[in-house]
Structure 1
């Protein structure tokens, strides 16, 4: 049976590629998308989520708007990476499919209470505000979650928004602390693995040449997205962060990692939002996450190519 998932997202070009991968994969049953403020404000992330669904021919999917700010503090966004719309690189029309009724947090709670315990995986690829709020509001759902598979954090690569913190965790470290302490099985697609998933010109041009609308859209997003990483890191391509979380659900054998303890720094003057990953198991704290570090890059991009080619 296909794995039932809810994608919690703040699109974002790499979020968009992740959503397309999920919608193209028969191994996954996407129950809905929940939007959160992150890369850009909520008014843009919820509209972008609907644009992506329409691009993929899935206007039947419910898209719920969620939290418009972190649990504590002010919202930090990333227009410097993703552009003013969050999906700069191609022009997409305004979505015609409506937002689904109800708040994203209520959708998460209601879905987990309705479905069989252990049958729904949550896939947050943005800040963890919606997930943590649902856990706080309805503690009974925590034991019903099969797993949380998230993109966020770093250890060896350290930070991409501050010297110590990865963006998704930094935006709402209080929410991340709740999720990491929840006891739900966690898989963490960190910067350590996503920075090994770099695009190439050959792959981007192959996307552009696909005789559908999704392939050229991916190429346009990647053209825009790559410029930031070329300028910052001197890399030849851009890391497709969020697709790694989806790919792990489909082909976990492509990845290597370690079960370790991860704590979230919420108070440090210089380290707020840091994922304190006990990679070498020196603290004696119990493992609470499968922390991914390696990926078969060529197999990952072959999977993306194969699946995106099946979309409209």
Structure 2
């Protein structure tokens, strides 16, 4: 028995050994970054006056209004943006799953956001929603031959909700192809005979969606939610360009480090951000494991 087990282990190791160098590189890099982050977060001062360990950076961060505001903004950004990305990706995946004329071309068209750098996308949105002379304001004011919907231009970036909303829309548009492709691959893995049988038995689209599609693409949905929630937590470019003074945790780290020169406090915020990402991922995994057991048991 042990000989068979050893033989199976050798076979598996022979199959995956090409991945060892990359895995080792990533592991060592991750450990170095995390160790440095922890050391920087629990120390204060510089040079010969460095004090370690100390909770002063964490106390200073947690007691500050800027951190609490950024944590609240980021939490809302994640809770709204993550399901929004899932719904958008699922909607497009369901459309592209159907057979229609020029389907491959349309699929390629929806991949365009990935080809545009995030910074370029953010700047384009900045120009479109500029105040007071952005194109969207001109459109709403009726200056392009359409009826006027507002009397005064909107200061999109002067409002917390509007600026963070623009940041979220830009982020969702930029990352939409990734969610769409993951869910589309899940749809393609479903046996088409299941749909034919359901149609024969008179099941409508709603029944097919909730009884066949959704249970079978649950792993794909879990992957999208897990990956997109991580991206939402650590988002920087769109809120930095479009909602500068309404900080998320990512932009607060940059501000503490570059504007205030507080590297220890910036590291403390970064450490809290890592803990938020890990906690969210753990909660999602537990939720989907429980949901999967409930669906398959039912």
TM-score normalised by length of structure 1: 0.24
Structure with the bigger percentage of helix: 2
Larger radius of gyration: 2
Structure with the bigger percentage of strand: 1
Tell which has more relative contact order, 1 or 2 (C-alpha 8 A, sep 6+). Answer: 2
TM-score normalised by length of structure 2: 0.25
